[in-house]
Amino acid sequence: MVNLLNEGDLSSFFKLLNQVDDDFSPTLSSRVDLEQYALKLLKVATVFGVYKKNQLVGAIAVYMNDLDSKVAYCPFIAILSNSRGQGFSQLLLEIAIAELKSKQFNSLSLTVRADSPASHLYKKVGFLIVNEFNYEDSNVKGLKMELKLL
C-alpha cells in the first residue's frame, strides 16, 4: 500500500531515515540532522511511503515546487534492506512520475552513485545520464540523471 505522507507521519518517516542511514555513502546523518531533514521533506516535498504489514518500509521524496520551469528533483528514495527486491522502488517512482505528469512537469532529475544498483532501475524507467561527477570531498563517482516527462 502506498500513501502520501504528511507531517503527522514524522515519527515513522524519521524512523525510516534512521534505518536506511548507513545505506547512503556518505551517510545522511553525516550531512544533515535526520529529524530536521525528515520534517523539511514532509513540509516542502511530496513524499510517498510504501507500507508492508502496516510498517513504513520505503519512501520517495520529490520537490515539485518549481512551477516556472516545471523541473522536479528527487532528493531521496530508499527501501529497507529486508524489503528490497519486491518492486517497491519502481512502484514509488511510477507513482511520483504519474503525479508529476498530472501536474504537467517537464522532467524529473536525481543523483545517484555510479556503482549503485539503483542506477539500473533508473535507466530501466527511462532516466538518462546527464553528467558524471565526484561527490564533494570524495572519490565517489556520481551520476546526475534525468527523466523527460513530456
- What's the DSSP call for residue 87? S
Domain of 113, in residue numbers: 2-148
Give residue 101's pLDDT. Answer: 97
Whether residue 138 is predicted with pLDDT greater than 90 in this model: the reply is no
Residue pair 42/6 in contact by the 8 Å Cβ criterion: yes
Whether residue 47 is predicted with pLDDT greater than 90 in this model: the reply is yes
Give residue 40's pLDDT. Answer: 97
CATH code of residue 67: 3.40.630.30
Give residue 11's pLDDT. Answer: 97
Residue pair 49/29 in contact by the 8 Å Cβ criterion: no
Give residue 17's pLDDT. Answer: 97
Average pLDDT over residues 71-84: 96
Average pLDDT over residues 78-107: 96
Q: How many CB atoms lie within 10 A of CB 73?
A: 17
Q: Report the percentage of the chain scoring pLDDT > 90.
A: 85
Give residue 26's pLDDT. Answer: 77
The three grid cell numbers given for residue 125, joined into one nine-digit string: 524507467
Nearest to 93 by CA among 106, 109, 104: 109
Pairwise CA distance, residues 5 & 110, whole Å? 20
Mean pLDDT across the chain? 94
What is the number of domains present in the chain?
1
